[in-house]
């Protein structure tokens, strides 16, 4: 029941990550997007007219992007829209503000007071609309949002997503454990948490028959909830056939407290599993300190991990072992985790994912998946602080393997995120039948001898003459920002248009 739109032909260079290690670059290509916002065909420009005929598309009724043949010398390409698999829309105003706090003190000092203030609809409207405008401008076409405890405020977030055209999962935070939340910001009891969460989910479901904006069941995290509410929330998800999101193993103090608070379970993941929360539509954020048993359980149940590198760094939480998760077949996407993370940009998350993966190989850093008994890392990279380098070749290869390439982080930012959110058949890449969630990226003109700054650059990206696509993508990831995002579409609808502004 998507809105009917004008059929559109997009022409230029298309880049997407076909799998973790493979990036496809289609130059001189046209993609036809039909009246439902779906990709109808992908064809070389040369054979476009034949393709139109075979699809019975009338050239006179078709819109084109760019509107006229692109004569610009700028390096530009279409890229799948980013998926942010973990973002607290309600914390958007605080992005970048965290002092010296770690998770639990950060919640108390910065986060709960801000979220509570969003019970006021006017405040919620300002924070949420700014968040959505901002993330769309940065190329995020799909976001898995945490709202607040307030059903009304959560409804506002869902409405704004619909109005502004962002694909979203919107979750009302369930949190009924008074031991770990301030009394002013806590569900009265499990029953209240469950009822309010159901009410919120049903309201969001009813409001959008197109399914672009969906509810997501959101037990804030284990310590926020009681076993009763965790189980009740799992039932709602099963009943309404909607996904689940929560946090897992972000910080060691949190992990220790979970173990003490729920002594009946062998691990954090097993607690969730026993409450019925794990499954193919469950996204678990952070996962910095998982045991092998938990990773296996997450993999078996088909749950996925939202890797939030900027947040984990800012709060000193830990270094998520992304490579090992991927090697074991766990689905991994990227999350900004605003405002544990300071940036609303998934491009920054990709950059930081690369950084964290490289720091994991630095001397003095030993991270990985540990055994359930605790002490030993199963994946240990030998390191040394000796003046003699004792690393063997195989150790070095093991270290290099931990590093995520630019292309791999872009995969996580698109197709990886789509897998996490159950959207892999729908978005994340350019294939016939997928919906047109895309961004148009402009890296500016190439720099050559005689170049003067400002003469054709877009934002901070500086692509030098002779650079290959691999290097151009590296420039985008490491120097790019929202200025390079010239247009954004969700399900065929243009939701950001900076080209028009410029023209």
Site for a copy of itself in 110-139 (CB under 8 A): 122-123, 125-126, 129-130, 133-134, 137
Cβ 113 to a copy of itself, closest distance in Å? 12
Nearby residues of 492 by Cβ (< 8 Å), 6 or more positions away: 2, 5, 8, 33, 34, 36, 37, 38, 435, 436
Residue 160 near residue 212, CB atoms below 8 Å: no
Q: Minimum CB separation from a copy of itself for residue 431, in Å?
A: 28
Interface with a copy of itself, residue 316, by CB under 8 A: yes
Q: Are 445 and 74 in contact (CB under 8 A)?
A: yes
CB of 77 to a copy of itself, least distance (A): 17
Decide: is 355 part of the binding site for a copy of itself (CB under 8 A): yes
CA distance 17 to 407: 7
Dihedral angle, C-alpha 44, 47, 48, 51, nearest 10 °:
-110
Q: Is 367 in the site for a copy of itself (CB under 8 A)?
A: yes
Residues 78-97 that bind a copy of itself (CB under 8 A): 93, 95-97
Residue placing its CB nearer to a copy of itself in the complex, 11 or 251: 251
Site for a copy of itself in 137-196 (CB under 8 A): 137
CA quadruple 256, 278, 352, 403: dihedral, nearest 10: 100
Which residue, chain included where needed, has tokens 């994912």? 353
Among 36, 195, 231, 358, which residue interacts with a copy of itself (rule: CB under 8 A)? 358
Among 314, 414, 419, 484, interactor with a copy of itself by CB under 8 A: 314
- Binders in 320-339 for a copy of itself, by CB under 8 A: none
Among 74, 119, 235, 479, contact with a copy of itself (rule: CB under 8 A): 479
Positions 261 through 290 that interact with a copy of itself (CB under 8 A): 267, 288-289
Q: Which of 177, 312, 414, 419 binds a copy of itself (CB under 8 A)?
A: 312
Place of tokens 């959101």: 218
The token duo for 488 is: 């954004």
Q: Kind of pairing, strands 140-146 and 167-171? A: parallel
Q: Rule CB under 8 A: say whether 71 interacts with a copy of itself.
A: no
| Residue 262: partners with Cβ closer than 8 Å, 6 or more residues away | 222, 227, 271
Instruction: State both tokens at 20.
Output: 């973790």
- Binding residues with a copy of itself: total (CB under 8 A): 85
Name the minimum Å distance from CB 483 to a copy of itself: 9
User: Are 416 and 19 a contacting pair, CB within 8 Å?
Assistant: no
Q: Min. distance of Cβ 478 from a copy of itself in angstroms?
A: 3
Residue 313 in the binding site for a copy of itself (CB under 8 A): yes
Q: Is residue 392 close enough to count as binding a copy of itself by CB under 8 A?
A: no
In angstroms, the Cα distances linking 118 to 111, 151, 255, 340 are: 11, 11, 29, 18
Indicate whether 399 belongs to the interface with a copy of itself (CB under 8 A): yes
8 A C-beta contact, residue 24 and residue 16? yes
Closer of 72 and 384 to a copy of itself (Cβ)? 384
10-39 mask for a copy of itself (x: CB under 8 A)?
Answer: ------------------------------
Which residues ranging from 454 to 473 are in contact with a copy of itself (CB under 8 A)? 454, 460, 462, 464, 471
CA distance 449 to 298: 53
Q: Which of 69, 99, 263, 264 binds a copy of itself (CB under 8 A)?
A: 99
């Amino acid at each position: 029941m998507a809105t009917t739109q004008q059929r559109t032909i997009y022409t230029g260079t298309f880049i997407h990550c076909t799998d973790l290690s493979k990036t496809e670059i289609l130059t001189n290509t046209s993609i036809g997007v039909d009246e439902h916002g779906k990709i109808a065909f992908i064809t070389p420009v040369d054979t476009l007219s034949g393709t139109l005929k075979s699809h019975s598309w009338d050239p006179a009724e078709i819109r084109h992007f760019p509107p006229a043949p692109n004569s610009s010398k700028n390096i530009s390409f279409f890229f799948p829209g980013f998926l942010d698999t973990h973002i607290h829309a309600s914390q958007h105003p605080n992005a970048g503000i965290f002092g010296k706090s770690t998770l639990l003190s950060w919640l108390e000092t910065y986060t709960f007071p801000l979220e509570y203030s969003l019970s006021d609809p006017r405040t919620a409207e300002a924070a949420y609309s700014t968040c959505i405008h901002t993330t769309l401008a940065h190329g995020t076409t799909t976001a898995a949002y945490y709202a607040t405890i307030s059903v009304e405020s959560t409804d506002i977030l869902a409405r704004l997503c619909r109005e502004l055209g962002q694909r979203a999962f919107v979750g009302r935070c369930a949190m009924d454990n008074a031991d770990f939340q301030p009394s002013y910001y806590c569900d009265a009891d499990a029953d209240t948490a469950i009822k309010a969460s159901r009410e919120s989910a049903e309201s969001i479901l009813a409001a959008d028959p197109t399914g672009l904006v969906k509810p997501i069941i959101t037990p804030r995290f284990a310590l926020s909830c009681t076993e009763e509410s965790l189980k009740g929330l799992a039932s709602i998800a099963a009943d309404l056939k909607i996904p689940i999101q929560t946090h897992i193993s972000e910080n060691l103090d949190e992990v220790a407290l979970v173990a003490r608070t729920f002594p009946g379970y062998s691990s954090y993941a097993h607690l969730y599993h026993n409450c019925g929360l794990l499954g193919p539509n469950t996204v678990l954020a952070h996962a910095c300190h998982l045991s092998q048993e938990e990773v296996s359980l997450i993999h078996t149940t088909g749950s996925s991990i939202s890797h939030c590198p900027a947040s984990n760094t800012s709060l000193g939480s830990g270094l998520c072992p992304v490579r090992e998760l991927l090697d074991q077949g766990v689905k991994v996407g990227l999350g900004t985790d605003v405002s544990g993370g300071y940036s609303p940009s998934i491009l920054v998350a990709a950059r930081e994912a690369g950084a964290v993966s490289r720091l994991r190989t630095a001397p003095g850093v030993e991270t990985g998946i540990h055994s359930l008994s605790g002490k030993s890392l199963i994946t240990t990279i030998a390191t040394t602080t000796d003046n003699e380098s004792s690393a063997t070749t195989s150790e070095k290869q093991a270290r290099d393997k931990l590093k995520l390439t630019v292309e791999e982080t872009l995969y996580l930012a698109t197709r990886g995120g789509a897998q996490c959110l159950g959207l892999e058949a729908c978005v994340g890449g350019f294939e016939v039948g997928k919906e047109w969630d895309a961004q148009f990226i402009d890296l500016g003109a190439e720099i050559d001898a005689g170049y003067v700054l400002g003469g054709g650059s877009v934002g901070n990206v500086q692509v030098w003459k002779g650079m290959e696509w691999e290097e151009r993508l590296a420039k985008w990831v490491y120097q790019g920002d929202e200025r390079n995002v010239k247009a954004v579409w969700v399900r065929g609808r243009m939701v950001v248009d900076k080209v028009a502004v410029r023209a």
